[in-house]
Amino acid sequence: MKAIDQSHGKLFMDPDPDHARKFFRKKNRKKMNKVMDLGQAIETFVLDGEYLAIGGFGSNRTPIAACHEIVRQGRKGMGFLGHTSTHDMQVLSAGEVYDRIDISYGVGLEARGLSRCSRAYLESGKVMVTEWTNYALTARLKAASMGIPFMPARTMLGTDTFKKSAAIQAICPFTNTTLALVPALYPDVAVIHVHEADIYGNARFKGIAVADIELAHASKRLIITTERLIRHDEISRDPSMTQIPFLLVDAVCEVPYGAYPGGMPGEYFSDEDHLTDWLDAEKNDETFNAFIKKEIFGCRNHEDYLNLHGGRERMAALRAEECLLHKEFYREDV
């Protein structure tokens, strides 16, 4: 397979499946109790200089509690997977946690506007940026999850997105189709937030999966944060429902409202007022520093953060907002 066109973006991670296999051979796959405190999980498995990926999509089912903890613990020099990363990227940019990024979508908070902080950080020249598309990044994770060095795709062709990626163009030997080959991506560590997990790490969630199943399989280490722990026999009673099996998981942390101020399907809607506060605070550096000091460094943990924003009462309101939207879940006659 000969490259007919080469891109110029930096390839941050080694796509060689034999190198990854060496790691996975030694990885502990025991069905053991992996429950720990979020602080401990981040301390143990999220390391300076390594490559981090965050599950969910934008502000949906995104482990924001873990992002705060990563900033709070002062991680630096990480690689980051900006695979439609919105508020999570905003938090990690505030902490200047990463200095290189594979990006498909970042900076923005979708319909809410742009994060001045994320934007300024990428404009500063402090961050090495390699461009991709949402599908290209999904395909890179899929290749890793399948233990192959690349995935062929029909996207990015002809654009500057391709030129600033680390993909290779090649011709299909069966059909002569021109393809973009995207290299496998094995993140060092990923954090994924779910609805339910047992103590071993068997995890399941409701609603769209985005690329979290691929991510769970591709990542060398995996932290699961979960709205609630459930008994293992709940899992084993209906194993068709398990999306992430325990073999992949290194830590299980019970973090209720772990996606707040983002939303969790069927549980609670995003706190749009507080997300607006974030965007507003960024308009002025001084304000924003004070804001981060209060919101992240001023909190010992996610519970503190929730209490800072109305605690149980506010959460109840967000639950109602989500559930009223989904009133058909509860009433048959609509």
Partner 1 sequence: MKTYNHMEMMIIAAARELENGSTAAVGTGAPCAAAMLAQKTHAPDLIILFEAGGISPRLVDMPISVGDSRTFHQASKAGTMGDVMDACARGTVDYTFLGGAQIDRYGNLNSTMIGRDHKKPKVRFPGSGGANDFASLCWRTMVMTVQDKRRFVEKLDFITTPGWLDGGNSREQSGLPRGTGPYRIITHMAVMDFEPVSKRMRVISLHPGYSFDDVQEECGFELLRSEIILDTPKPGVSELEILRKEVDPRGYLIGR
In the three-class reduction of DSSP (H, G, I as helix; E, B as strand; rest coil), residue 207 is classed as: coil
- Residue 183 touches a copy of itself, criterion: CB under 8 A: yes
- Residue 150 touches partner 1, criterion: CB under 8 A: no
Query: Quick one: which of 149, 298, 310, 311 contacts a copy of itself (CB under 8 A)?
Result: 149
- Considering only residues 36 through 55, tell me which ones interact with partner 1, judged by CB under 8 A: none
149 binds, among a copy of itself, partner 1, none (CB under 5 to 8 A by kind): a copy of itself
- Angle value at C-alpha 168, between 164 and 174, nearest 5 degrees: 150
- Considering only residues 234 through 293, tell me which ones interact with a copy of itself, judged by CB under 8 A: 236-238, 240
15 binds, among partner 1, a copy of itself, none (CB under 5 to 8 A by kind): a copy of itself
Q: How far is Cα 295 from Cα 309, in angstroms, rounded to an integer?
A: 10
- Residue 170 touches a copy of itself, criterion: CB under 8 A: yes
- Considering only residues 81 through 100, tell me which ones interact with partner 1, judged by CB under 8 A: 82, 84, 86
Q: How far is Cα 239 from Cα 223, in angstroms, rounded to an integer?
A: 21
- Residue 72 touches partner 1, criterion: CB under 8 A: no
Buried b (16+ CB within 10 A) or exposed e, 165-177: bbbbbbeeeeeee
- Residue 282 touches partner 1, criterion: CB under 8 A: no
Q: How far is Cα 329 from Cα 208, in angstroms, rounded to an integer?
A: 16
From the CB of 18, what's the least distance to a copy of itself, in Å? 7
Query: Quick one: which of 54, 103, 153, 189 contacts a copy of itself (CB under 8 A)?
Result: 153
From the CB of 58, what's the least distance to a copy of itself, in Å? 18
- Residue 328 touches a copy of itself, criterion: CB under 8 A: yes
Peptide bond between residue 265 and the one before it cis (omega within 30 degrees of 0): no
Q: DSSP per residue over 35-48, as a string?
A: B--HHHHHHHH--T
119 binds, among a copy of itself, partner 1, none (CB under 5 to 8 A by kind): partner 1
Q: How far is Cα 75 from Cα 43, in angstroms, rounded to an integer?
A: 9
Tokens matching residue 110: 């979708």
- Angle value at C-alpha 286, between 280 and 288, nearest 5 degrees: 40
259 binds, among a copy of itself, partner 1, none (CB under 5 to 8 A by kind): none
Query: How is residue 328 annotated by DSSP?
Result: G
Tokens matching residue 334: 């609509």
Which residue from 141, 150, 136 is spatially nearest to 220, judged by alpha carbons?
A: 141
**Which x/- pattern, by CB under 8 A, does the window 1-30 give for a copy of itself?**
xxx-------x---xxxx------------
Query: Quick one: which of 142, 274, 302, 314 contacts partner 1 (CB under 8 A)?
Result: 142
57 has which bridge partners? 60
171 has which bridge partners? 178
From the CB of 208, what's the least distance to a copy of itself, in Å? 8
Q: How far is Cα 316 from Cα 62, in angstroms, rounded to an integer?
A: 19
3 binds, among a copy of itself, partner 1, none (CB under 5 to 8 A by kind): a copy of itself
Q: Which stretch binds a copy of itself (CB under 8 A): 37-45, 256-264, 280-288, 326-334?
A: 326-334
Residues in the chain: 334
Residues that bind a copy of itself (CB under 8 A): 1-3, 11, 15-18, 147-154, 168, 170-175, 177, 179, 181, 183, 206-208, 233, 236-238, 240, 328-329, 332
